[in-house]
Amino acid sequence: AQTVTQSQPEMSVQEAETVTLSCTYDTSESDYYLFWYKQPPSRQMILVIRQEAYKQQNATENRFSVNFQKAAKSFSLKISDSQLGDAAMYFCAAGAGSYQLTFGKGTKLSVIP
């Protein structure tokens, strides 16, 4: 079983600046995966980035990168060069195997022009 905590209900960032969204988790599994999903107003769930727990190297996807601190059970998302289209709800999630993803409550990101 996993628990995922996002302590920032809302965040804002100036366009072109960098913002970091926080996430902490707890799990009894030794082999697990962590994810950040984006949910724009359309409500479609879009996978932004994923991290395998056995990999020490932090995942990156273009302007998105994570800071994975396994011992601290921390998994933050950094968005560089923020764009207006990045405005959305962001959910941190944890999973083991291929089912039962556990989501945090989300962080609403606003991008200020």
Partner 1 sequence: NAGVMQNPRHLVRRRGQEARLRCSPMKGHSHVYWYRQLPEEGLKFMVYLQKENIIDESGMPKERFSAEFPKEGPSILRIQQVVRGDSAAYFCASSPRASLRTYNEQFFGPGTRLTVL
Please report, as ranges, the residues that interact with partner 1 according to CB under 8 A. 4, 6, 31, 33, 42-47, 50, 52, 91, 93, 95-106
Tell me the torsion sign for CA atoms 14, 108, 72, 57: negative
Cβ distance to partner 1 smaller for residue 22 or 102: 102
Q: In the bound complex, what is the minimum distance in angstroms from residue 26's beta carbon to partner 1? A: 15
The DSSP annotation for 48-63 comes to EEEEETT--SPPEETT
CA distance 40 to 54: 30
Cβ distance to partner 1 smaller for residue 31 or 61: 31
Cβ distance to partner 1 smaller for residue 33 or 75: 33
Q: In the bound complex, what is the minimum distance in angstroms from residue 53's beta carbon to partner 1? A: 10
Q: In the bound complex, what is the minimum distance in angstroms from residue 58's beta carbon to partner 1? A: 17
H/E segment holding residue 88:
strand 88-96
- Tokens representing residue 11 in the block: 């965040």
Cβ distance to partner 1 smaller for residue 50 or 78: 50
Q: In the bound complex, what is the minimum distance in angstroms from residue 65's beta carbon to partner 1? A: 19
If you compute the radius of gyration of the chain from its CA atoms, what whole number of angstroms results? 13
